C-alpha cells in the first residue's frame, strides 16, 4: 500500500511517500506517481527486475514521431536503461518468489530521488539485502543515475547481473525507431543509436557500469551481448556473506532535436559528444552528480516554498507532489515543447498538450515563475502555424487551435478511434479533434491571464496580440447566423463536458468565443493609440481593419444563454430536455468508467449526465459575469449529474465551493483531487499521472483557499482556509514582483522585497502597501 506516513517524524516528513508492501496490482500506479524527470526527459519508475505488466518508459520531450498514416504522432518510447536482471545462484531474482521483509519504496520529492530497499529470503533460505537508488538529473538534463547494492546476509552467493540498453521497447506495439548502430567501447562504454522513423530524430544513449565490493572499486570482466535492438553487459561475481556489491550505472541521453548547440551537428558528433559527456560523468562519480542534482532541487523548493500547517499532514505532501510533477514534466529549457496530459510519466494521451496546460497548469507558473508561463505560451505562438492550417482545412479563417497538439507545426493530432461501443462492438469515434473547439478561446484567455498578472508587454508585442487577434478571427468565421432568431450561434460542438457530442450553443463555448472577440476588440482599440506601428505591422498580416469589424458585429449578436426561471443556465440547447437517470452506481471514483459497460456513448449523449465541470468552469474563468447565487444554483443542479470522470473536474468544483464559502465541501473536493493520483485506487494512474489535476491541486489552495484571483487586472485575495488548516504560506508573482503570502486563522500577511507600492484587493477592499502588509482575517 502507498503510505506517506511510513517515515513520519523523520527528516523527510511531508517530503516523501512510500510503498510499504510489495504489491504488483499497484505496479502501474507506482511507476507513474513515482516517475522521475527533468522536463527534458521523463523516466517511468519501473523496477530494475522485470514483472509481468510492468511498463518501461523513457520519453524525451518534443521528439514526436508518427508510426504510420493511420496513427497520430506521439512521444516515442526510447530505449530502456532501467532494467537490471539479477540472478542469484542461477535463479532469476523476483520479489514474487521467496519472502520479502523490510520493504520500502519511496519517492523523495525534496531530492527527486527514488529509493527501494528490502531483505529478500530465497526459497533456499538465503537472506539478501537490496538497496536501489535512481535519479534523473536536474543539473545535467541528459543524465540518469542508477545505484544498487546487494549484500548476502547469511551465506555467499553467485550474483549474475545483466544490464544494458534495450531498444526493443515500443508504444503499446508501435515501433517508432529505426535500429541504429550499437557499439561497446573499451569493453565498458555502451552506445546505442536509434532514429525515429518519420520525424528522423536521432537518439544516442550511452551507458557505463562501475562496481565496488565492500567499498573497493573492482574491474569485472563483462560478457558482452549485442542482439537485435539491444545490448547488454553480463557480470558474474561471487559475494561472501556480509560483502556488499555496489553498482553505479550512469546514462547519457541526447537527441538531434536537443536545443543545446551540439545537437545541430551531425550524428557522428552527437555520438562523440554523448560519449564525452558520459566520461565526464564517470569522472565526477555518482555521488557528486547526485549532489549537483540535489542542489538544483533545493533551489526549486526555495522558489516554490509552500507551508501548510494542517491537521492533516498529507495536505502539504499532496501540494509538493503536485509541484514536483509539474517541474518534472515541464520543458522549461525549450519553448518548442509543451506539457503532456500525462506529463512524461506514461504513454497516455501520447505526450499531447490539451487545454489542460492553459487552464489548469499555466496559472501555477503565471504566479510562481512567470518566465516558464511565457515559454509555454510561446509554444502556442509557434503553434499558430498548425492552428492556421487547421482553420483553413476546416473552411474557417484565423487560428483554430488543435484540440491536441504535439510538435507545434503539426496541427491537429487527436486520434480518431477510442474505446469500444458496447452496442455496435466497434471503436467509438473521438470527435474532439473535429469539434471540441473551445481550446482556441482557452488559449486566448491564457494569454490575457498571463499578461494581466505579469505585465509582460514584450510577450504581448511579440506574440500575444497576434494570438488574440487571430483566434478572434477564427471565431468570427466560425459563427453561424440564425436568421429566424437574428443571432449568431455555434452549433455542432463538444464543450468541456465530453459526454455530450454534437451539441448546439454550448454555453461555455459561446461565452468564451464572445470573450475572445471582445478581448481582441479591446486590444485593437488600445493599440490604435498606444502602439500604432505594431498594429499596422499586425494589420499587414492579419487584415485587422476588416477583422475588427467582424469581431464587433458578431460579438454583439452572439447568442449567450441566459438563466431560466430556476436560475439554471442550460449547458447547451438540449441538455435540460434530456433524460434523468440514477447515477448512484457510478458515483464512486473507481466505478466511473463502468458507465460505458452499461451504456454506449450515443446512449449517454441522451441523458443528463456530465463527465466534468462545464458551465461551472465558465463561472470560474469569467467569474465577474455571473452572480454568486446563480453560481450556487447551477452548482446544485449540475454537480449531482456529474461523474467527475475527468481529472479536471474536482479542482474546479472545489474552487467554486470556496467561492460559496462552503469550506467543508471545498476541502473535501480538494482531497478528492489529491486522490486522483495519490489515492487508494490502484489503476487510476496506470497510463501516467494527471497533469491538469496537479495544476488543479495548486489552484484549489491558492485560487480556492487563499481566494486569489486576477479580476479586471487587479489581484484579489479572499482567504477561506479549511477548518483544519492553521497556516498557509506561499509565494506569488504579481506584475514582476514576488509577494510572500502568509495566512493564519487571524491574519493575512503579505511581504515583498519590491520597493514600489503594491496594490491589492483584499476581501473586496483596495489596499496599497510597500514592504509588508498585515490584514485581519474576516471570519464568516
What is the three-state SS of 137-151? CCCCCCEEEEEEEEE
Single out the residue of 5, 8, 101, 168 in contact with a copy of itself (rule: CB under 8 A). 168
Closest approach, Cβ 1 to a copy of itself, in A, equals 15
Retrieve residue 708's grid coordinates. 486569489
* Rounded Cα–Cα distance for residues 735 and 713 (Å): 10
Residue pair 657/650 in contact (Cβ under 8 Å)? The answer is: no
Looking at the annotation, which residues are catalytic? 498
Single out the residue of 169, 319, 468, 616 in contact with a copy of itself (rule: CB under 8 A). 169
Q: Which string of x and - marks every residue 125-164 that binds a copy of itself (by CB under 8 A)?
A: ----------------------------------------
Closest approach, Cβ 415 to a copy of itself, in A, equals 9
Single out the residue of 129, 197, 236, 292 in contact with a copy of itself (rule: CB under 8 A). 197
- How many C-alpha atoms does 84 have within 13 Å on its Cβ side? 26
Locate all alpha helices (DSSP H) within 394-506, ordered by sequence. 432-435, 439-454, 457-459, 465-478
Q: Which region, left, alpha or beta, applies to residue 35 given φ > 0 means left and ψ of -120 to 50 means alpha? A: beta
Single out the residue of 3, 20, 94, 518 in contact with a copy of itself (rule: CB under 8 A). 94
Single out the residue of 104, 117, 174, 482 in contact with a copy of itself (rule: CB under 8 A). 174
592 near a copy of itself, rule: CB under 8 A: no
* Rounded Cα–Cα distance for residues 731 and 505 (Å): 40
Q: Which string of x and - marks every residue 547-586 that binds a copy of itself (by CB under 8 A)?
A: ----------------------------------------
Residue pair 590/643 in contact (Cβ under 8 Å)? The answer is: no
Site for a copy of itself in 95-124 (CB under 8 A): 96-97
Closest approach, Cβ 70 to a copy of itself, in A, equals 6
Closest approach, Cβ 250 to a copy of itself, in A, equals 18
Q: Which stretch binds a copy of itself (CB under 8 A): 93-101, 112-120, 430-438, 504-512?
A: 93-101
163: helix, strand or coil: strand
Site for a copy of itself in 399-428 (CB under 8 A): 419-420, 422, 425-427
Q: Where are the beta strands (DSSP E) in 371-444?
A: 417-420, 427-429
Closest approach, Cβ 422 to a copy of itself, in A, equals 6
429 near a copy of itself, rule: CB under 8 A: no
590 near a copy of itself, rule: CB under 8 A: no
For β-strands 127-136 and 143-152, DSSP reports them as: antiparallel
598 near a copy of itself, rule: CB under 8 A: no
As a residue count, the chain comes to 780
Locate all alpha helices (DSSP H) within 383-438, ordered by sequence. 384-393, 432-435
Closest approach, Cβ 74 to a copy of itself, in A, equals 10
Q: Which stretch binds a copy of itself (CB under 8 A): 223-231, 314-322, 337-345, 654-662?
A: 223-231
748: helix, strand or coil: strand
Retrieve residue 24's grid coordinates. 504488483
* Rounded Cα–Cα distance for residues 152 and 34 (Å): 28
Closest approach, Cβ 79 to a copy of itself, in A, equals 10
Specify which residues 607 forms β-bridges with: 579
Closest approach, Cβ 356 to a copy of itself, in A, equals 21
With a CB cutoff of 8 Å and minimum separation 6, the contacts of 148 are 48, 84, 130, 131, 132, 133, 246, 247
217 near a copy of itself, rule: CB under 8 A: no
Specify which residues 253 forms β-bridges with: 205
Retrieve residue 716's grid coordinates. 484579489
751 near a copy of itself, rule: CB under 8 A: no
Q: Which stretch binds a copy of itself (CB under 8 A): 166-174, 399-407, 460-468, 765-773?
A: 166-174
| Residues at the interface with a copy of itself (CB under 8 A) | 24-25, 50-53, 67-68, 70-71, 90, 92, 94, 96-97, 167-170, 172-175, 178-179, 181-187, 197, 223-231, 419-420, 422, 425-427, 597
Amino acid at each position: 500500500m502507498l503510505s506517506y506516513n511510513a517515515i513520519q517524524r523523520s527528516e523527510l516528513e511531508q517530503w516523501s511517500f512510500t510503498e510499504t508492501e510489495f504489491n504488483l496490482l499497484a505496479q502501474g500506479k507506482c511507476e507513474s506517481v513515482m516517475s522521475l524527470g527533468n522536463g527534458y526527459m521523463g523516466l517511468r519508475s519501473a523496477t530494475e527486475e522485470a514483472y509481468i505488466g510492468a511498463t518501461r518508459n523513457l520519453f524525451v520531450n518534443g521528439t514526436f514521431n508518427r508510426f504510420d498514416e493511420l496513427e497520430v504522432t506521439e512521444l516515442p518510447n526510447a530505449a530502456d536503461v532501467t532494467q537490471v536482471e539479477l540472478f542469484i545462484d542461477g535463479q532469476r531474482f523476483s520479489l514474487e518468489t521467496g519472502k520479502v521483509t523490510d520493504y520500502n519504496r519511496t519517492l523523495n520529492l525534496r531530492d527527486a530521488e527514488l529509493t527501494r530497499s528490502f531483505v529478500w529470503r530465497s526459497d533456499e533460505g538465503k537472506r539478501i539485502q537490496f538497496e536501489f537508488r535512481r535519479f534523473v538529473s536536474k543539473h545535467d538534463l541528459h543524465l540518469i543515475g542508477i545505484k544498487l547494492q546487494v549484500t548476502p546476509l547469511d551465506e555467499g552467493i553467485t550474483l549474475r547481473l545483466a544490464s544494458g540498453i534495450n531498444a526493443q521497447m515500443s508504444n503499446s506495439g508501435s515501433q517508432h525507431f529505426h535500429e541504429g548502430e550499437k557499439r561497446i567501447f573499451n569493453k565498458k562504454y555502451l552506445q546505442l543509436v536509434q532514429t525515429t522513423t518519420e520525424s528522423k530524430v536521432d537518439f544516442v544513449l550511452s551507458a557505463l557500469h562501475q562496481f565496488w565490493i565492500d567499498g573497493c572499486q573492482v574491474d569485472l570482466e563483462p560478457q558482452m551481448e549485442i542482439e537485435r535492438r539491444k545490448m547488454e553487459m553480463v557480470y558474474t561475481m561471487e559475494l561472501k556473506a556480509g560483502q556488499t556489491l555496489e553498482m553505479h550505472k550512469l546514462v547519457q541521453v541526447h537527441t538531434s532535436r536537443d536545443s543545446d548547440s551540439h545537437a545541430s551537428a551531425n550524428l557522428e558528433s552527437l555520438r562523440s559528444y554523448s560519449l564525452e559527456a558520459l566520461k565526464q560523468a564517470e569522472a565526477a562519480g555518482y555521488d557528486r552528480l547526485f549532489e549537483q542534482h540535489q542542489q538544483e532541487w533545493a533551489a526549486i523548493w526555495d522558489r516554490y516554498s509552500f507551508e501548510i500547517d494542517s491537521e492533516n499532514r498529507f495536505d502539504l505532501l499532496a501540494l509538493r507532489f503536485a509541484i514536483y510533477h509539474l517541474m518534472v514534466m515541464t520543458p522549461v529549457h525549450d519553448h518548442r515543447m509543451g506539457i503532456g496530459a500525462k506529463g512524461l510519466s506514461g504513454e497516455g494521451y501520447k505526450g499531447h498538450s490539451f487545454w489542460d496546460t492553459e487552464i489548469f497548469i499555466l496559472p501555477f507558473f503565471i504566479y510562481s515563475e512567470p518566465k516558464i508561463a511565457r515559454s509555454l505560451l510561446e509554444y502556442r505562438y509557434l503553434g499558430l502555424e498548425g492552428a492556421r492550417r487547421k482553420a483553413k482545412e476546416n473552411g474557417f479563417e484565423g487560428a483554430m487551435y488543435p484540440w491536441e497538439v504535439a510538435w507545434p507545426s503539426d496541427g491537429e493530432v487527436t486520434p480518431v478511434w477510442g474505446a469500444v461501443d458496447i452496442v455496435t462492438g466497434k471503436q467509438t469515434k473521438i470527435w474532439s479533434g473535429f469539434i471540441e473547439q473551445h481550446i482556441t478561446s482557452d488559449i486566448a484567455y491564457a494569454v490575457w491571464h498571463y499578461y494581466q498578472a505579469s505585465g509582460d508587454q514584450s510577450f504581448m508585442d511579440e506574440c500575444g496580440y497576434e494570438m488574440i487577434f487571430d483566434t478572434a478571427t477564427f471565431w468570427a468565421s466560425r459563427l453561424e447566423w440564425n436568421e429566424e432568431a437574428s443571432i449568431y450561434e455555434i452549433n455542432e460542438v463538444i464543450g468541456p463536458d465530453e459526454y455530450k457530442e454534437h451539441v448546439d450553443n454550448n454555453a461555455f463555448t459561446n461565452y468564451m468565443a464572445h470573450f475572445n472577440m471582445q478581448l481582441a476588440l479591446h486590444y485593437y482599440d488600445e493599440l490604435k493609440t498606444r502602439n500604432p506601428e505594431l498594429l499596422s505591422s499586425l494589420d499587414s498580416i492579419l487584415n485587422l481593419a476588416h477583422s475588427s469589424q467582424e469581431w464587433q458585429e458578431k460579438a454583439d449578436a452572439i447568442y449567450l444563454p441566459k438563466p431560466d426561471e430556476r436560475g439554471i443556465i442550460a449547458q447547451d440547447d438540449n441538455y435540460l430536455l434530456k433524460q434523468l437517470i440514477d447515477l448512484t452506481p457510478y458515483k464512486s471514483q473507481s466505478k466511473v468508467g463502468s458507465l460505458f459497460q452499461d451504456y454506449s456513448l450515443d446512449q449517454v449523449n441522451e441523458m443528463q449526465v456530465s463527465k466534468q465541470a462545464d458551465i461551472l468552469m465558465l463561472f470560474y474563468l469569467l467569474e465577474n459575469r455571473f452572480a454568486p447565487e446563480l453560481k450556487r444554483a447551477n452548482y446544485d443542479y449540475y454537480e449531482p449529474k456529474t461523474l467527475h470522470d475527468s481529472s479536471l473536474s474536482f479542482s474546479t468544483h472545489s474552487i467554486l465551493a470556496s467561492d460559496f464559502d462552503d469550506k467543508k465541501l471545498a476541502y473535501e473536493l480538494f482531497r478528492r483531487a489529491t486522490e486522483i493520483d495519490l489515492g487508494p485506487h490502484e489503476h487510476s494512474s496506470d497510463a501516467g499521472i494527471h497533469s491538469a489535476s496537479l495544476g488543479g491541486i495548486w489552484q484549489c489552495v491558492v485560487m480556492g483557499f487563499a481566494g486569489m484571483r486576477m479580476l479586471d487586472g487587479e489581484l484579489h485575495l479572499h482567504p477561506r482556509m479549511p477548518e483544519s488548516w492553521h497556516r498557509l504560506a506561499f509565494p506569488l508573482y504579481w506584475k514582476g514582483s514576488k509577494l510572500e503570502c502568509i495566512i493564519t486563522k487571524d491574519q493575512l500577511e503579505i511581504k515583498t522585497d519590491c520597493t514600489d507600492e503594491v496594490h491589492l484587493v483584499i476581501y473586496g477592499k483596495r489596499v496599497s502597501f510597500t514592504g509588508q502588509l498585515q490584514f485581519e482575517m474576516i471570519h464568516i
